[in-house]
Amino acid sequence: MYCQQCEQTAGGKACTKIGVCGKTDETARLQDELTGALITVSRKGIDISDKQLSEGLFATLTNVNFDNTALERLIAQVGQPYYDLNKVCDADENVKSLKTLLLLGVRGIAAYAYHALVLGRDVSEICAFLRKGLAAIGEPDWGMDELLPLVMEAGKVNLSVLEILDRANTETYGIPAPAKVTMEVEKGAFIVISGHDLRDLKLLLEQTDGKGVNVYTHGEMLPAHGYPEMRKYSHLKGNFGTAWQNQQREFADVPAPVLFTTNCLMPPKDSYKDRIFTTAVVGYPELTHIGEDKDFSPVIEKALELGGYHENSKFTGINGGAELTTGFAHGTVLSVADKLIEAVKNGQISRFFLVGGCDGARPGRNYFTDFVKQAPKDSVILTLACGKYRFNDLDLGTVAGLPRILDMGQCNDAYSAIKVAVALAEAFNCGVNDLPLSLVISWYEQKAVSILLTLLHLGIKNIILGPTLPAFVSPAVLNFLVEKFNIAPTTTPEADLKKILER
Ligand code: SF4
Ligand code: SF3
């Protein structure tokens, strides 16, 4: 195997024997074959459905599908000889770097397209770009001149898909509003639901209604508490646990089943394997997978059988806090835009930091906790995605009547942050780069890659990226990113804050 698509890749270079994520050599080969088959389809102009295309690509994201049978089925459905991805690896290092960047961007876009498609949205234009991007990866003679514009276009297309998804979510589940979410688990039967698929949560809430089974979010499902159509269910109680990389510890002795929607699933330990269920694109051998009929009865039965805790049980976030807040999507933040602008003008708010992105297991990720703790007391921390669990239980007080940490949602809601930044720039009659706004982004998997490409497409400069830079970025491509966008790796919170505040 040869995989370097995520931040935890072995030795900071590539996984070649077994994935640090737990992906086997065989699974990696099947994921390459699936990608290769989709490249062939795109190069030959063969018509496959947008669902098949986005689902196939989504299945190759990190921590999504470890189930070889499911991957074989997806390959058989495409039914084309696969383009050999080794040709990408053997190319000139800059071509390899750009083709990898394009492929990972395409995978991230496909994930968002899939979520929008599930909510009945038309993503045909998005998928047309996915086909164009995949076809380009198979072009034998393309160099930097041809590939670089496509990489930048991926950022533009990702912005479109995020906008489509934002509209799909808010039109289906309402405009998110601020919500306080407890980490206490009430006694009695319950289900934990993880991942990004809001539709699965909604269906689970409907199917558990009146059954004496409570529902708790986990990981990226936390922002669901902000949506009116979810909050109306009184048995949606709170949030269990923290970010994805702690699941093997947090699920070890929980007396309840966990339903994984896509993504991030880790190989389950034997101690809790019988309690894990999967649905949507996520999969792992031998786990019960709930198919397209979305009949969650086996999960509900398991919850009733396990019975939950005997007493109410208190849990805390990684900093000891017992309550989280979410629901500060663009609708809420922009409804107080006048107040924010006034607070910046009169000096109450000195700066906005967008600190967020994907979390991961590396110890260096404490950087993001320390950064937020050390940020000036009159600054506002906008956050999104699972990286927020590093600090979302901290009580940093308020500024200008608003909590200092504003959780804008999942990584799927990056559009919210962009919308707020653009609106502030308009209000101040300046460019986004001239705002008192700094972006400190953590990355892990391929959706973060597509979001990063969107930020670059918008011309956003001075992004600080960590905890490490992607292994697939060649020196020449890195040089381009530094010269054009002044992108920089994280160093220490102290040094990076100093640099930002002196700018
Ligand atoms: Fe390694 Fe990441 Fe690929 Fe898994 S997804 S095999 S950890 S690079
Ligand atoms: Fe996290 Fe997987 Fe990316 Fe949606 S849950 S941000 S890593």
Q: Which of 1, 2, 3, 31 to mutate to test the pocket of ligand 1 (most atoms within 8 A of CB)?
A: 3
**By alpha-carbon position, which residue is closest to atom 3 of ligand 2?**
358
Spatial distance between the Cα atoms of 229 and 409, rounded to a whole number of angstroms:
16
Residue ranges lining ligand 2, Cβ < 6 Å: 196, 219-220, 244, 263-264, 358-359, 385-386, 410-411, 444-445, 447-448
Determine the pLDDT at residue 404.
97
Nearest of 326, 122, 149, 341 to residue 239 by alpha carbon: 326
Nearest of 408, 417, 366, 357 to residue 390 by alpha carbon: 366
CA distances from residue 65 to 2, 108, 317, 411, 471 in whole angstroms, order as listed: 17, 15, 28, 19, 22
DSSP 185: B
Residue ranges lining ligand 1, Cβ < 6 Å: 3-6, 8-9, 15, 19-21, 23, 62
- Give distance in angstroms: CA of 402 to centre of ligand 2: 26
Geometric angle at alpha carbon 305, from 299 and 306, rounded to 5°: 90
pLDDT tier, 112 (very low <50, low <70, confident <90, very high otherwise): very high
Q: Which of 218, 244, 265, 326 to mutate to test the pocket of ligand 2 (most atoms within 8 A of CB)?
A: 244
pLDDT tier, 300 (very low <50, low <70, confident <90, very high otherwise): very high
Tokens 């292994």 — which residue? 471
Secondary structure (3-state) at 430: coil
- Phi and psi based region of residue 468 (left: phi greater than 0; alpha: psi -120 to 50; beta: remaining): beta
Spatial distance between the Cα atoms of 500 and 503, rounded to a whole number of angstroms:
5
- Give distance in angstroms: CA of 360 to centre of ligand 2: 8
Domain ranges of the chain: 10-153, 179-306, 328-502
pLDDT tier, 65 (very low <50, low <70, confident <90, very high otherwise): very high
Determine the pLDDT at residue 361.
84
Buried b (16+ CB within 10 A) or exposed e, 119-132: bebebeebbebbbb
pLDDT, tens digit, for every residue of 341-359? 999 999 999 999 999 999 9
Q: What is the mean pLDDT of residues 41-46?
A: 97
Q: What is the mean pLDDT of residues 4-12?
A: 96
Determine the pLDDT at residue 362.
80
pLDDT, tens digit, for every residue of 438-497? 999 999 999 999 999 999 999 999 999 999 999 999 999 999 999 999 999 999 999 999
Q: What is the CATH number of domain 328-502?
A: 3.40.50.2030
Q: What is the mean pLDDT of residues 424-440?
A: 96
> What fold does the segment set 10-153 form as a domain?
Substrate Binding Domain Of Dnak; Chain:A; Domain 2 (1.20.1270)
Between 362 and 438, residue with greater pLDDT: 438
Q: What is the mean pLDDT of residues 361-384?
A: 94
CA distances from residue 484 to 97, 274, 359, 432 in whole angstroms, order as listed: 17, 50, 27, 15
Q: What is the mean pLDDT of residues 212-224?
A: 98
Q: If you write DSSP's letter for every residue of 253-273 in order, what string do you get?
A: T-SS-EEE-SS---PPPTTTG
Residues in the chain, overall count: 503
pLDDT exceeds cutoff 80 at 363: no
Report the DSSP beta bridge partners of residue 191.
Answer: 215
**By alpha-carbon position, which residue is closest to atom 5 of ligand 2?**
264
Determine the pLDDT at residue 87.
94
Handedness of CA 492, 497, 502, 503 (dihedral sign): positive
Buried b (16+ CB within 10 A) or exposed e, 290-311: beeeeebeebbebbeebebbee
pLDDT tier, 364 (very low <50, low <70, confident <90, very high otherwise): confident
For the segment(s) 179-306, the CATH number from 3.20.20.70, 3.40.630.30, 3.40.50.2030, 3.40.50.360 is 3.40.50.2030
Determine the pLDDT at residue 277.
98
- Give distance in angstroms: CA of 450 to centre of ligand 2: 13
pLDDT exceeds cutoff 80 at 222: yes
Q: Which of 104, 169, 218, 358 to mutate to test the pocket of ligand 2 (most atoms within 8 A of CB)?
A: 358
Buried b (16+ CB within 10 A) or exposed e, 387-417: bbbbbbbbebeebbebbbbbbbbbbbbbbbb
Determine the pLDDT at residue 503.
84
Report the DSSP beta bridge partners of residue 357.
Answer: 442
pLDDT exceeds cutoff 90 at 271: yes
Torsion of CA 329, 330, 332, 338, to 10 degrees: 150
Q: In which element (H, E) is residue 479 found?
A: helix 475-485
Determine the pLDDT at residue 134.
98
> What is the atom index within ligand 1 of the atom nearest the CA of 18?
6
Q: In which element (H, E) is residue 192 found?
A: strand 190-194
- Give distance in angstroms: CA of 448 to centre of ligand 2: 8
Cβ neighbours, 10 Å, residue 168:
20
Secondary structure (3-state) at 96: helix
The three-state (H, E, C) secondary structure of 63-91, written as one string = CCECCHHHHHHHHHHHCCCCCCCHHHHHC
Mean pLDDT across the chain: 97
Question: Would the CATH topology of 179-306 be identical to that of 328-502?
Answer: yes
**By alpha-carbon position, which residue is closest to atom 2 of ligand 1?**
6
What are the strands, taking DSSP E only, across 280-401?
288-290, 323-326, 351-357, 379-383, 398-399
Residue 435 CB contacts under 8 Å (≥ 6 apart), including other chains: 352, 421, 424, 425, 428
